[in-house]
Amino acid sequence: MNKKIVFSWDRLTYFLFSLPAVILYSFFFVYAVIVGINYSFTDWNGISKSYNYIGFDNYLSLFKNPNFWQSLEVTGKYALMLVIGVMALSLILALSLNSLKRFKTFTKSVYFLPAMISAVTLSLIWDQMFYRIAPKIGEALNIAALSQSPLASPKYALIAIVLVNIWQAVALPTLIFIAGLQSVPDELYESARIDGASTFKRFRFITMPFLVPTITVNMVLAIKAGVTSFDYAYTLTGGGPIKASNLIGIMIYNDAFQNMKFAMANAESVVLFVIIAVLSFVQIWLSRKGGVNGK
């Protein structure tokens, strides 16, 4: 009898433990998603007191809107450049840092410093760097393209923003790669060396298989960061010049709060939701195929 009462008290404790999380998450996350999807079927401008349901009209006009496609294209380019830059650099840095014998702690902490700073402050610093240093380099080397800040040029603005993003985003993947490298058993390298395998072959056939899970992790993080990026472009260019850096995140923000197209912005974010969901499923599918660890 006594035992039964204790048992039910415990069940109640567990239930109460789960309650704050479930309530907060349901209201501020799940309910928000539902409200957002609901808005995407209306013509609400975000301010007026009433609105009408217009079915899929927002989505239809979105798919006919060249600005939307242009924004998706810019976002795609941005994500691609970010992924390539982050993956290549962080792999190179991880291989370099991992084999370092002296000054390892110091070097690692310098390389991780950018991850501490807020994207806004960073962007403003780089804005100044581009503005003050690019013309000097352009003058010295006689490169016309660098006669002004690359952020002011429709041709180079996106690349400049990606560079700032990479400058910060390389830190964490580098550490993840180092963790992956340290999971490779040393015996494998030694026996390969005894068999006379070249440096490249050792990298290709020993290091790479162990890195596959970390490559997947880093790639997915970088793709998601690229597709949903906002802070850097918003601070550096605000989407310009002439929509050259009009990322989907910026288009959503501007349509919702500047252009009085609140419902349309919700439709845009639902499309982004679908893109991310598809990417996430690809991630799960890829990570099931796994590397050595099968993680």
CB-wise, 111 or 156, nearer to another protein? 111
Residues 79-98 touching another protein, rule: CB under 8 A, are 92-93, 95-97
* Listed ranges 17-25, 62-70, 148-156, 203-211: which one lies at the site for another protein (CB under 8 A): 17-25
Considering the rule CB under 8 A, would residue 245 count as an interface residue with another protein?
no
Give the DSSP per-residue string, 152-216.
Answer: G-TTTHHHHHHHHHHHHHTHHHHHHHHHHHTTS-HHHHHHHHHTT--HHHHIIIIIHHHHHHHHH
| Distance, CA of 181 to CA of 240 (rounded, Å) | 40
Considering the rule CB under 8 A, would residue 51 count as an interface residue with another protein?
no
Considering the rule CB under 8 A, would residue 5 count as an interface residue with another protein?
no
Considering the rule CB under 8 A, would residue 165 count as an interface residue with another protein?
no
Count CB neighbours of 4 within 10 A.
8
Give the DSSP per-residue string, 39-79.
Answer: HTTB---SSSS---B-TTHHHHHHHH-HHHHHHHHHHHHHH
Closest CB 134 distance from another protein, rounded Å: 12
Considering the rule CB under 8 A, would residue 140 count as an interface residue with another protein?
no
What CA–CA distances, in Å, run from 149 to 122, 128, 253, 292? 16, 9, 25, 46
Considering the rule CB under 8 A, would residue 100 count as an interface residue with another protein?
yes
CB-wise, 55 or 196, nearer to another protein? 196
The strand pairing partners of 53, in sequence order, are 42
CB-wise, 133 or 143, nearer to another protein? 133
Closest CB 167 distance from another protein, rounded Å: 7
CB-wise, 50 or 105, nearer to another protein? 105
Using DSSP's 3-state secondary structure scheme, residue 238 falls into: coil
CB-wise, 144 or 194, nearer to another protein? 194
CB-wise, 30 or 60, nearer to another protein? 30
| Distance, CA of 237 to CA of 245 (rounded, Å) | 7
Considering the rule CB under 8 A, would residue 53 count as an interface residue with another protein?
no
The strand pairing partners of 91, in sequence order, are none
Pick one of 1, 4, 5, 20: the residue that binds another protein (CB under 8 A): 20
> Please, what is the angle between helix 157-169 and helix 208-227, to 10°?
130
Pick one of 111, 151, 216, 233: the residue that binds another protein (CB under 8 A): 111
Q: The tokens of 169 are what?
A: 């985003």
Q: Name the DSSP class of 38.
A: H
Closest CB 94 distance from another protein, rounded Å: 11
Q: Return left, alpha or beta for 91; rule: phi > 0 is left, psi -120 to 50 is alpha, else beta.
A: alpha
Considering the rule CB under 8 A, would residue 139 count as an interface residue with another protein?
no
Q: The tokens of 194 are what?
A: 């005894």
Residues 171-230 touching another protein, rule: CB under 8 A, are 172, 175-176, 178-179, 189-190, 193, 199, 214, 217, 221, 224, 227-228, 230
| Distance, CA of 40 to CA of 267 (rounded, Å) | 5
In the block, residue with structure tokens 């989505």: 59
Site string for another protein, 55-84 (x = CB under 8 A): ------------------------------
Site string for another protein, 260-289 (x = CB under 8 A): --x--xx--xx-xx--xx--x---------
